[in-house]
């Protein structure tokens, strides 16, 4: 756990919340307590030592909060004024409402009987803060970002994937390579460790996605299957859309006149370069140069007078 100094204000908030928590968990170990409050054991000990000096004016033993924690287990007495659980802060409410948005989407399929309850809770909380902060579609937002992160960090994801063809849900570990859109549907392609092959998955059929322990041995896999497609391209100019389509950062292209781009589908690469609208020029391989010139020519011919009825 991160060892960071908390500000007096953070410590105050924690101490106020410690009292009702301890009242509900008499005899909890200091380690468990530190876990719940997401801080170091030393921090909690400091909190307890400070709290032990607090109480009602007068500050005689009768008025002080009575804490015992020498044995490593904490009990509390004489804490009546702070016994109440504090009201939720607006940022805590935001975190809960967004979490409920995810639950609502997920429950719609898995546990529809809970949906109404989730909506009621969510409305109750939203009416308190009155701010417009929400998530529209969970599967895309949450799972896509899990997968996007794995692509970026060359990691793997554990997914539950629904296949309508076999009408079955399967659990797979996948090292994802990239996203692609075909026919208005978003997919991602990657090496499926479960079936030991490169597979394409439809994003909206992913039912769950979490980061997986398995390290993505991306280089080995692509060397073994020869699937990875590399292009050396000259940068004539670059706009934001092109930058984002190749998942590059500003710093990746700084001062460069050419760049090596990688993808797992030659077709995806050819289309993405054409879409750059002459910002990128393929230098290698020659076949791709020719195929892009050909696509441009064929498409241009459709703009001739009378080409399309």
Partner 1 sequence: MSRKSERLVNLTIALLATKRYLTKSEIFRTVDGYDGSPEAMERMFERDKDDLRSLGIVIELGTFDPLFEDEAGYRITPASYQFNLGQLDGEDIALLSLAASAWSGASLERESSAALVKLESLGLECDSDALSFLAPQMSVNDPNFSLITDAIVRKAEIEFDYLGEDLSLKQKKVHPYSLKGDSGFWYLVGMDVAAEQVKKFRLDRIESEINVGKKGDRFESPVSHGLADDHLQERAVLKVRKGSAHQLRALAIETNPGDEWDQIEIAIINRSWLKRSILWHRDDVVAISPSWLRLDVIDSLKRMQALHG
Nearer to partner 1 (CB atom), residue 223 or residue 293: 293
Least Cβ distance, residue 233 to partner 1 (angstroms): 10
Least Cβ distance, residue 282 to partner 1 (angstroms): 6
Q: Residues, the chain, total?
A: 309
Nearer to partner 1 (CB atom), residue 206 or residue 218: 206
Whether the ω angle into residue 285 lies within 30 degrees of 0, i.e. cis, is yes
Nearer to partner 1 (CB atom), residue 220 or residue 277: 277
Nearer to partner 1 (CB atom), residue 172 or residue 222: 172
The partner residues of 197 in beta bridges, in order of sequence, read 192
Least Cβ distance, residue 93 to partner 1 (angstroms): 8
Least Cβ distance, residue 167 to partner 1 (angstroms): 21
Nearer to partner 1 (CB atom), residue 142 or residue 222: 142
The dihedrals phi and psi of 302, each to the nearest 5 degrees, come to -70, -15
CA atoms in the 13 A half-sphere facing the CB of 229: 14
Gap between the Cα atoms of 193 and 234, Å rounded: 35
Kindly give, in sequence order, each residue whose CB lies less than 8 Å from that of residue 231, ignoring residues fewer than 6 positions away: 260, 261, 262, 263, 269, 273, 282, 284, 285, 288
* Burial class for 14, CB neighbours closer than 10 Å (0-12, 13-18, 19+): buried
**Is 82:20 a contact under the CB 8 Å cutoff?**
yes
Nearer to partner 1 (CB atom), residue 45 or residue 214: 45
- Among all chains, which residue has been given the structure tokens 């949906």? 115
Nearer to partner 1 (CB atom), residue 107 or residue 222: 107
Least Cβ distance, residue 192 to partner 1 (angstroms): 21
- Which tokens in the block code for residue 5? 């100094």
- Among all chains, which residue has been given the structure tokens 């992160």? 149
Gap between the Cα atoms of 94 and 88, Å rounded: 10
Gap between the Cα atoms of 47 and 14, Å rounded: 8
| Helix H or strand E segment including 36 | helix 30-36
Nearer to partner 1 (CB atom), residue 164 or residue 303: 303
**Three-state SS at 176:** strand
**Is 156:211 a contact under the CB 8 Å cutoff?**
yes
């Amino acid at each position: 756990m991160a060892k960071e100094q908390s500000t007096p204000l953070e410590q105050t908030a924690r101490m106020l919340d410690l009292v009702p928590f301890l009242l509900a968990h008499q005899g909890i170990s200091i380690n468990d307590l530190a876990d719940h409050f997401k801080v170091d054991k030393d921090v909690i000990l400091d909190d307890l030592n400070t709290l032990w000096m607090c109480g009602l004016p007068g500050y005689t033993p009768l008025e002080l909060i009575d804490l015992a924690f020498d044995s490593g287990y904490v009990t509390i007495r004489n804490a009546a004024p702070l016994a109440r659980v504090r009201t939720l802060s607006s940022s805590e409410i935001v975190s809960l409402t967004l979490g409920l948005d995810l639950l609502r989407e997920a429950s719609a399929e898995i546990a529809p009987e809970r949906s109404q309850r989730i909506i009621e809770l969510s409305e109750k909380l939203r009416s308190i803060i009155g701010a417009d902060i929400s998530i529209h579609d969970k599967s895309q937002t949450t799972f896509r970002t899990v997968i996007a992160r794995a692509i970026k960090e060359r990691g793997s994801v554990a997914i539950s994937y629904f296949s309508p063809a076999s009408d079955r849900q399967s659990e797979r570990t996948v090292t994802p390579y990239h996203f692609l859109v075909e026919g208005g549907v978003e997919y991602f392609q990657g090496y499926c460790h479960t079936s030991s092959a490169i597979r394409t998955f439809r994003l909206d059929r992913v039912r769950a996605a979490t980061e997986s322990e398995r390290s993505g041995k991306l280089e080995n896999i692509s060397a073994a299957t020869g699937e990875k497609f590399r292009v050396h391209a000259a940068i004539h100019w670059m706009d934001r859309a092109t930058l984002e389509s190749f998942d590059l950062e500003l710093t990746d292209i700084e001062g460069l006149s050419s760049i090596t781009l990688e993808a797992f589908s030659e077709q995806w690469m050819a289309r993405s370069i054409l879409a750059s609208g002459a910002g990128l020029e393929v230098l290698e391989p020659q076949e791709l140069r020719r195929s892009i010139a050909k696509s441009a020519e064929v498409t241009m011919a459709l703009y001739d007078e009378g080409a399309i009825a």
